[in-house]
Structure formats: structure tokens, C-alpha cells
Amino acid sequence: MGNCCSDPVNFDGDIDLYHFDLHRAVGKGAFGKVRVVEHKKSKKLYALKYIDKAKCIKQKAVANIIQERRLLEEIDHPFVVNLRYAFQDDENCFFVLDLMLGGDLRFHLERLRYIPETVVKFWMAELSSALEYLHKQRIIHRDLKPDNILLDAMGHAHITDFNVAIHYSERRLHTSVAGSMAYMAPEVIGRLGYSWQCDWWSLGVVAWELLFHRRPFDGRTAEKMKHSILKDSVRFPSSAKEKCSKEGQQFLLGLLDRNTKTRLGCRDKDLGIEDVRKHPWLKKIDWDTLENKEAQPPFVPDMKKANFDVSHELDEFLMVEKPLTHSKRKQNPDLEKMKPELRQLEEQFTIYDFSKNKRMSYYPHNQPITNVVHPEESEASEIIQSTTNTLVPTSTWVDHSRPNSPINEDDAHHMPHRQSLYMPTHQPIPSVSVHESHEERSSAEGS
């Protein structure tokens, strides 16, 4: 779907949708979709995530969208999906992200009978590098799982989807429960107070699932799963020796340590992840080569097959939903006459262009973003809870801090709705390096 207008595009002006040709839809989130787009001047392909403003306002998620936008501006790492552009028109807010063509790890986990240990080890090394970077930026991802790890066309792994990510506080532990239950660390699900160490536990659950096609802690109900994560001993499946070396098993046990002081990757913040890098399982890795993306991934996705759910495209084809089109903005909108939420988006969802703007941190000088106050309300709207009370083990959800629990000034309320980026596409398009963007979120976690 190309631009039907004949007006020339002003590439020297602010970035907008007219700078891109629109291609296929490859994903769907709570408020919009993800499409493949091509920049008309550079001819580079990206993923365009767009958020319907009306839906966003209706579900009181304006603050979350602005926080995600700010968070994404802060991050730039080879194993993270990075933000390239952000802008809006009258109906939507747009995130333009590095395109991942290789599928997410859930996709491959469900389709492959077996993932070799060498492949999992390579992904763990890349993801460890990404986690170290995020934690140095004072960011906790809080939702690491196979669904949120995307491969590029070459087979490199990237962390995506920072919907519930937050800046962590040096002064206080966080208490709100957020993420996907099956991957939550015991200190998160048990409300024991947590910080960045919880991401390393989640990485251990991911590695276990990739190797053994099952998770280390499970339960048919939320309560049973919670009990398993908090109390059950770690038991390897009977076939573990055939699928994972002794060193690999020790690596898993190191990550799945309930004591955050002795958990692998968490033992000394000043040393960073030296204990991870020097672990017998990873010690042969050339980390400089790996972090320069010069190491050959042992698994390369099949780019001749679709690596996403093709039904996303059918919605528009069958006219189930209004298709995304290029549209000119209203000239000189009167901010005073706008609905408060629209005005907030207009003023705070600012334009970002990676070719013109330096990445900046909004932390720590930025204050928590809250939804605007309506005349009929005595206080700012609370960020919405999950749309259902059903806890699905792999779906993301947020439960705010209990009354009288510590409130972290540096924390963020986060939208429980999945803004899931997308499943990469297999289109016959040239291989491009792909990243997606995540930004540190700063806002108040406890309500």
C-alpha cells in the first residue's frame, strides 16, 4: 500500500507517515497494529507500531504511551530492538522500530522439535549482554520471555517489548507485581521487594524452556504456579543429560537461585556480569566478537517461510478494521480546545528522529507521568488494570503495590495491555539488521 498522494515529500521537514511506504501488517497490540514500512528516501525497512489515540484514551493509557515513548528514546544496543522514529497524526501515535525478520523465540520453540544447546548458549550470551546494558541504564525489563525475544534475519537475538519496564530505584525495592507469571522471580511474585536481579531469574526460565520444551515451575492455577516458583526445588527432566551439558545445567541453576545475593549475574553489581562471562558454560565465547555482531549465529531463520501470524493482514483485507492511511494533520490545532488527554499526547508524545536527535535520558530529572485530571475527578486517573482478571501464565499483567507498601519515586505504572511489537515477516525483502527499541520508563509504580 503506497502513498496515493502526488505531493512531494519534504524529507528535510519533521518525520511523518508520508516519509514511508506501508507494507504488510505483521502484528497486533491492544491499541493498534504493527506493519512493515519502507523509508522512501533511504529505502530501509522498519517495523511501524501505531497506537489508536481514541482507544488509548478510552482505556486511560495515555501516560503509559508517553512513558514508553520516552523509555524507547534512551536505549540503543545491538541486542535490543531500538527506536528510530516517533511521531503522531490526528488519529495515531507512531513508533518506528528496527525490523526483526527472523521470528520470536516462542514461534521457533513451538515449531522446532529440539533446539540444540549450542543455539541456546549463543542466544543466552547475546541476551546477557543486553541485560547488562539495560541494568547499567537503570532499567528492569520485567517481562523477559520467549515471546519478547526477536531474531533478526541473521539469527541474532534481541529483547523487545518494554511495556512494563521501569527505572529501578537505588533507595527502595519495588513491590508491584508485573510481568508474565511463569517467568516471574520469586521476589516479584512473592512481593518480597525486588530490583534488577529479577531479570536474570527470568532469563534462566527462558533458557530452561528453550532447552527442555517445558518450564521449571508450573501449575494449573495461578496459586499453584506461585507456590511452585516460591517453594519447589529445581528438578531437571529425565532427558536433561541428553539435551544439556553439566556446565549448562549449572548455569541454569545459577540463574534460578532464589537468593538474589548469590544468583548468577547478581553477585556484585560493580563487577557486572563477569560471573556470567567466566562461567564454564560461556567461557569460550569471544565477547568482543559477539557484541560487535561478528559472531556467526548457529541458527539462521528460514526466510522463505512466514514467521508471523498472517491473520493480521486479513483483518484489513476483509474490512474488519479501518486500514491505516496517510493523512494530513489539521493545521494549527487549538490546544486549549482539545480534550485534556489529546492535548497531553500532543505536547508530550514528541517527535524523535534518530538521524537528527541524540538519544537522551529522561532519568532522573523527569517526574512520573500521570493521566490528566478531569473536572469531575478529584485526582488523576489510575492507570488501567488488566482487562480481565484471568491470569494466563504467559500473558503480561500488572498488579499495583499494596496499600502502605513503599512507593518508588523512580518507578513506573505500566500498561498491562500488550503492545506486542510484532512477529517478523519473511517477505522477499533484503536482509536488514534489525533491532527494536526499549526505553527506560520513569514513573510512579505504587499507587
Residue 217 belongs to domain with CATH number: 1.10.510.10
The answer to whether position 333 is within a domain reads yes
Same domain, 55 and 128: no
The answer to whether position 211 is within a domain reads yes
CA 236 to chain centre: 29
The answer to whether position 148 is within a domain reads yes
Has 49 been labeled as part of a binding site? yes
Same domain, 214 and 195: yes
The answer to whether position 40 is within a domain reads yes
Same domain, 284 and 166: yes
Domain stop point among 344, 359, 382: 382
Contacts of residue 435, defined as CB under 8 A and 6 or more positions apart, other chains included, come to 77, 78, 79, 80, 81, 82, 97, 98, 100, 152, 158
| Residue 273 belongs to domain spanning | 105-291
Mean of pLDDT values over 356-372: 62
The answer to whether position 410 is within a domain reads no
Same domain, 149 and 264: yes
Same domain, 151 and 231: yes
Same domain, 253 and 374: no
Same domain, 170 and 183: yes
Same domain, 224 and 245: yes
Same domain, 332 and 272: no
Which residues are catalytically annotated? 143
pTM value > 0.85: no
pLDDT in tens, 312-356: 555 555 544 567 777 777 766 677 778 899 999 999 999 999 988
What SS3 state is found at 358? coil
233 has pLDDT over 90: yes
pLDDT in tens, 108-130: 999 898 899 999 999 999 999 99
Domain stop point among 267, 291, 315: 291
